[in-house]
Amino acid sequence: MGDWSLSSGFYMRRNTGNVKMGKTWPKILIVNPPIYDFSAYDFWLRPLGALAVAGMLRGQAQLTFYDFLDRRHPAAVNKNTEKDAFGRGRFIEQQVEKPAAFKMIPRYYKRFGLPGEHFEQFLQAGSGFDFVLVQSVMTYWYPGIKEVIAAVRQNCPQAKIVLGGFYATACHSHAQTLGADLVICGSDLKPMWEMIGLTEPKAYCPPGWELYPNLGTGVITLTRGCPFKCSYCYAPVRGERFAARPMEDVAADFEMMKKRGVRNIAFYDDALLYQPEKILFPFLDYMQEHGAGVNLHTPNAMHARLLTLDVARRVVQAGMKTFYLGYESASAEFQKQTGAKLVSNELASAVDALKSAGAAGTNITAYEMLGHPLADVQAIEESMRFAHALGIRIMFSEFSPIPGTPDGELCRKYVDIDEPLNHNKSAFPVVFMGWQKIKYYKTLCRTLNETTFGKSN
C-alpha cells in the first residue's frame, strides 16, 4: 500500500516500497481519457473498469493515476465546473473542429476534460512509466483515446500501452488501429498480466478508490450481466450470465469509498431491481446501518416494472435520492419489437410507488428513446405527454447504434457503423430523423419539464 503526494502539481499515487523480493515494481500509469462529443456532463461518471484493474495491481506496482474527467483535480477547480446538490457538474470544455462525419450536425463539437498540455507536462515531469493503461467507455469517444496514445508515444516512448473497456471490446478491430500495444477484449485480462509480468490476485480486490485524493462521487455494482434481451443493447451480445456479486465484495467496495469521504454513489448495474430479495435488499439493509449521509443514484435506469411499493420504500429509506426509470416508449408495438421492457401503466405504478414512499417528482425521471430506427411506431410525443402527466421529468435517451446488436445492424442502411463516430447519440438521431424533428422534440421536452418544475431546473 502507499500514500498520496502532490508532486509538481500532479497527484501521484506512490507505493511506499518499490522493490519486492529483489524485483523492481513496474511503474504503471492508468489514464481515463478526455471526451470528444457535442455535449458531456459529469453525471456521476467514474472509470470503473480502469479502477477495477488498478485494484488488482494494488501492492504489485507503482501506480499513478490521471483522470482527465476528475472535476476535483486542482487543475479543474474554479474553471466553471460547478456542481449540483448531488455532485453532478460540468467538465472543463473547449470547442474543437468537427470531424468530417459530423459536418451535417448543426452543433458545436467539443473536447471535455483537463487540458492536453497539462497531461503532457505531467508525463514530462514523471520519472517515466513502463506501462500505460488506458480506459475506454463510449465507442464514439475514441478521439480522446487517440489523443492520450499520441501524447504517451511523444513524451514517454518507452512505455507499453494497453487499452481496455467497452470501446476496446465492441469495436475491437477499430481499437487496434489507434496504436496501443495491446487491446483487451472483454473481461479476460490474461494478455495484460502476461505483458506486464505480474500475476492476477486470487482474492477479490476492491477498485482503486484510493487513487482519488478527494473522492466525493463513487460508483458501485451489485450484479454482473443482464437477464433481459433488448434489441438495441449490447448486454445480450456480450452474453455474460446474470449474477449477483458477493455481498462481502460489495461491502468492501463501499467501505473503501466511505473512507475516502464519498457523498454520492451511482449504481452502474444493468438490472439493479432483478431478484431484489437476494441482491438489492441485503445491500440496502447494509446501507441503512453503515451508509448514513450517503446519497444513492440510478443514472443507468431502473426497470419500472420491478419497482413495487416495497422496493420503493426500501430504496428511499436507504438514501436513494434520484430515480431514473427506463420508459423508452408508450407504444405496445415498439415494446414488442425491442424487448417488451415496460408498458405505460407500469411506469405509472412505479411513479405512484416512489411518490408514496416519499420521493419528489422533481427527482424522478423517465428516459425516453429518441432517434431509434423504429421511431415510426414509437409514438414519441404521446409517450412524452404520458410521462409528463405523471408529474415527473422526461429525459431523452438518444439512440446510439451499436454494431452486433439487432437495432444497431438495422442502421447500416443510414450510416457506416464500422466508423464508431457514427454511433454518437447526438448525431445518429439527427441523421435518421432530421434536425427539425429533433429540435421539435427537444423543445417540447424542455417546455414540458419547465411547465411542471419551472425554468431554473
Q: Is 229 in the site for ligand SF4 (CB under 6 A)?
A: yes
The interface with ligand SF4 within residues 72-101 (CB under 6 A) comprises none
Q: Of 96-104, 232-240, 326-334, 349-357, which part binds ligand B12 (CB under 6 A)?
A: 232-240
- What cell does 318 get? 436507504
- Picked from ligand SF4, ligand B12, none, the partner binding residue 236 (CB below 5 to 8 A depending on kind) is ligand SF4
Ranges of beta strands (E only) in 146-228 are 160-165, 182-183, 217-220, 223-224
Q: If binding is defined by CB under 6 A, does position 315 make contact with ligand B12?
A: no
- Binding site partner of 379, from ligand SF4, ligand B12, none, Cβ cut-off 5-8 A by kind: none
**Least spacing, CB of residue 16 vs ligand B12, in Å:** 24
Backbone angles phi, psi at 379, to 5 degrees: 55, 60
- Rounded CA separation 418/173 (Å): 9
| Count of residues that bind ligand B12 according to CB under 6 A | 37
Site pattern 14..43 for ligand B12 (x: CB under 6 A): -----------------------x--x--x
Binding mask 236-275 for ligand SF4 (x = CB under 6 A): x---------------------------------xx----
233 binds ligand SF4 (CB under 6 A): yes
Cβ closest to ligand SF4, residue 391 vs residue 406: 406
Within 116-175, the residues that bind ligand SF4 by CB under 6 A are none
- Binder of ligand SF4 out of 163, 226, 262, 445 (CB under 6 A): 226
Binding ligand B12 by CB under 6 A: which of 165, 206, 208, 218? 165
Stated as kind and residue range, the H or E segment containing 366 is: strand 364-370
Asked whether 188 and 31 are in contact (CB, 8 A), the reply is no
Which residues are CB-contacts of 77 (< 8 A; sequence separation ≥ 6)? Answer: 71
DSSP assignment, residue 353?
H
Decide if residue 233 touches ligand B12 (CB under 6 A): yes
- By CB under 6 A, tell whether 341 contacts ligand B12: no
**Closest approach of Cβ 237 to ligand SF4, in Å?**
10
Residue 307 in the binding site for ligand SF4 (CB under 6 A): no
Q: Using CA atoms, how far apart are residues 351 and 91, in angstroms rounded to an integer?
A: 31
The shares of helix, strand and coil residues in the chain, as percent rounded to the nearest 5, are 40, 20, 40
Question: Which grid coordinates belong to 89?
Answer: 457538474
Q: What mask of x and - would describe binding to ligand B12 in positions 47 to 76, judged by CB under 6 A?
A: -xxx-xx-----------------------
- Residues 220 and 17: their CA atoms lie apart, in Å, by 30
Element (H, E) at 395: strand 393-398
Q: Which of 139, 136, 183, 157 is nearest to 32 (CA)?
A: 136
> Cα(335)–Cα(231) distance, rounded to whole angstroms?
10
C-alpha triplet 372, 93, 88: angle, nearest 5°: 70
- Which of 68, 234 has the CB closer to ligand SF4? 234
What is the closest distance, in whole angstroms, from the C-beta atom of residue 356 to ligand B12 in the complex? 26
Asked whether the beta carbons of 448 and 381 are under 8 A apart, the reply is no
Q: Which residues contact 381 (CB under 8 A, 6 or more apart)?
A: 441, 444
Q: Give contact residues for ligand B12 (rule: CB under 6 A).
A: 37, 40, 43, 45, 48-50, 52-53, 133-135, 137-140, 162, 164-166, 169, 184, 187, 192, 233-235, 268, 270, 299-300, 397-398, 400, 402, 423, 425
Residues that bind ligand SF4 (CB under 6 A): 226, 228-230, 233, 235-236, 270-271, 339
